[in-house]
Amino acid sequence: MANKKTAASGGMKLNYGRTTLIGFGFMACMLLWSVYNSFVPVILRGKLTEVFAGDSAFAQFISSHPWMSWISVALIVNAIMTIDNIFGVIFQPFFGKKSDRTRSKLGKRMPYILICMPICALFFCFVPVAATIRAVGLSILLMMCVIVCFNFLMSVWRSPVVSLMPDFTPSALQSDANAVINIMGGIGQMVGFVVGSISAAAVGLLGMKELSAALKAKTNDLGEIVDGAGNLILKNGQPQHVNYTPVFVVTAVIALLCIVVLYFFYKKNKQHDLSANADAAASGKEEKQEKIKIKNLPISKEEKRSLLIMLAALFLINNATEAIIPNFTNFANTTLHVAPIYSTLMMAVFAVSLAAFGIPAGIMGRKLGRKKTIIIGLVAIVAMFAVYLTISQLLKTNEDGSVNKFTWIALWVALVVGGAAVGCVNINTLPLVLAIGGRDYVGTFTGYYYTATMSASVTGPILCGLVIGLFNEDYNFMFLFCAIFFALGLAVITQVKHGESTDITEEDIKQARMADD
């Protein structure tokens, strides 16, 4: 196996040090997204709850039109949190292609990164600053302006920063290099999960004890600080609100340091940029691949049916997985009474379980079959979520409103087992789709796969927000939504009859996964 791999790569070896330094760019990207997805929903919920609960013109308008009762805080928050996915679909491919044609002393990609990333970090820091404005209408307006600008700028530099790896890595080694890049991205995500605690400790060491204590405090629906019994803690007769600016500033500083490392790496290693030679050889010509409609694919009707069913299952499954991301911190805050800086640590447990089960899930797919492994994963997920939801609804909460220990145990089990189960699903769905088309259509079927998953990243949060709102803003019903969509995906995927062929290699799968990075 080692000889085959060496032969396939032409005797070349991956420069792990250089690849790791390239990965600092993706690490910065994932760090920003991790904190954004964790804390922005909490900030938005506090502001929007104030609008819905107050005597504002908007609240009166909603109450006077019963047919609009389906509009809820959770729905609006989740809709806002899909902006990044919508912008990603629209702008990332555009700026990725634009960077391919860019010529400068800093190469193709670095101008986009060095110009847009610092501005992006600035807008990132302004999100919690805008939230500190007490005039709620003005605060929300400024927050939305900042959020839109931040998401647009992230879409501008994300594709160029990911494209750096192929620029510096021979094609035969790109799959292995992509694994290193993903590890760096995972490190960025994990740093994002603990940066809240780091920020609280940092401002405490700087003497800002009150701000540090506020970051660690529990809050109510309005984002006001409360004690263990849920009573408001007043200062000068006024409620106190958590200011998350330190969390965002610390995150932005770490991300900027990552980009500084990337800049000095590029300055020192730009002579290794392979894209310059590739451009000269290509003489500026671009290859255009015509998109193939499913009905025109040279595969059997049964295989086309399996493909359509599999894409439908992917859409349903990813509606569930994408719904968890923008809702978990609000769930932990309102249901578990856990401060957001600590709820992100719970998300880290899920992420670690998912990552740790990646290799075993791949082995299961090869030994048991991809479809069986996916089904096992989906059954486990549905069971865990259903058990947690049942226990949380049947068992009474403690006198202070917090959940009892049995609910906590059920949740931790659901997070650990659920992470491993999602790994079983995620690792094997792409190979199953690719195997239906075979090696000749890896690119085409990769496009189908990401169309289904990206579509779900827009609809999942919105539909979940609608369900939460219908159940009086009870974030426990996030698990009901997820369980239903996982169950629907399970029912649909049982009808897939193809996808276990062995002509798709691990190299093909790795290359296909790179298409979404």
Greatest mean pLDDT range, 12-16, 151-155, 263-267: 151-155
Q: Which two tokens stand for residue 381?
A: 């997920």
- Assign 499 a pLDDT band (cuts: 50, 70, 90): confident
- Pick 357 or 318 by higher pLDDT: 318
Q: For position 6, what pLDDT does the model report? A: 46
Q: For position 280, what pLDDT does the model report? A: 46
- Assign 57 a pLDDT band (cuts: 50, 70, 90): low
Lowest average pLDDT, out of 376-385, 390-399, 412-421, 489-498, goes to 390-399
Contacts of 321 (CB under 8 A, 6+ apart): 422, 456, 460, 482
Q: For position 289, what pLDDT does the model report? A: 47
Q: For position 288, what pLDDT does the model report? A: 45
Q: What Cα–Cα distance (Å) separates residue 355 from each residue in 117, 183, 190, 422?
A: 28, 10, 11, 10
Q: For position 162, what pLDDT does the model report? A: 87
Q: For position 322, what pLDDT does the model report? A: 92
Mean pLDDT of 230-240: 77
Q: For position 285, what pLDDT does the model report? A: 42
Mean pLDDT of 154-181: 85
Please say if the pLDDT value at position 396 is more than 60: yes
Mean pLDDT of 423-438: 86
List, for residues 331-342, the tens digit of each pLDDT value. Answer: 998 888 888 888
Please say if the pLDDT value at position 514 is more than 80: no
Mean pLDDT of 150-170: 90
Please say if the pLDDT value at position 232 is more than 60: yes
Mean pLDDT of 277-300: 58
Q: How many helices (H) and strands (E) does the chain have?
A: 20, 4
For 239, the 3-state DSSP assignment is strand
- Assign 260 a pLDDT band (cuts: 50, 70, 90): very high
Lowest average pLDDT, out of 49-58, 93-102, 139-148, 157-166, goes to 49-58
Query: Shortest CA distance to 78 belongs to which of 418, 385, 478, 349?
Result: 478
**Average pLDDT score over the chain:** 85
Q: For position 321, what pLDDT does the model report? A: 92
The dihedrals phi and psi of 465, each to the nearest 5 degrees, come to -60, -35
Mean pLDDT of 274-281: 58
- Assign 286 a pLDDT band (cuts: 50, 70, 90): very low
Q: For position 283, what pLDDT does the model report? A: 43
Q: End-to-end alpha-carbon separation of the chain, Å?
A: 27
Mean pLDDT of 6-25: 76
Domains of the chain: 17-270 (1.20.1250.20), 299-517 (1.20.1250.20)
User: Taking a C-beta distance cutoff of 8 angstroms, is the pair 255, 32 a contact?
Assistant: yes
Contacts of 120 (CB under 8 A, 6+ apart): 32, 150, 153, 154, 156, 157
Q: For position 254, what pLDDT does the model report? A: 96
List, for residues 456-481, the tens digit of each pLDDT value. Answer: 999 999 999 999 998 888 898 898 99
Query: Taking the mean position of all CA atoms in its chain, how far away is CA 393?
Result: 28
Please say if the pLDDT value at position 400 is more than 70: no
Rounded to two decimals, what is the model's pTM? 0.88
Q: For position 327, what pLDDT does the model report? A: 93
- Pick 123 or 242 by higher pLDDT: 123
For 226, the 3-state DSSP assignment is strand
Q: For position 146, what pLDDT does the model report? A: 97
- Assign 300 a pLDDT band (cuts: 50, 70, 90): confident
List, for residues 179-226, the tens digit of each pLDDT value. Answer: 888 889 989 999 999 999 999 999 998 888 888 888 888 888 778 888
Contacts of 56 (CB under 8 A, 6+ apart): 136, 137
Q: For position 426, what pLDDT does the model report? A: 87
Contacts of 75 (CB under 8 A, 6+ apart): 462, 465, 466, 468, 469
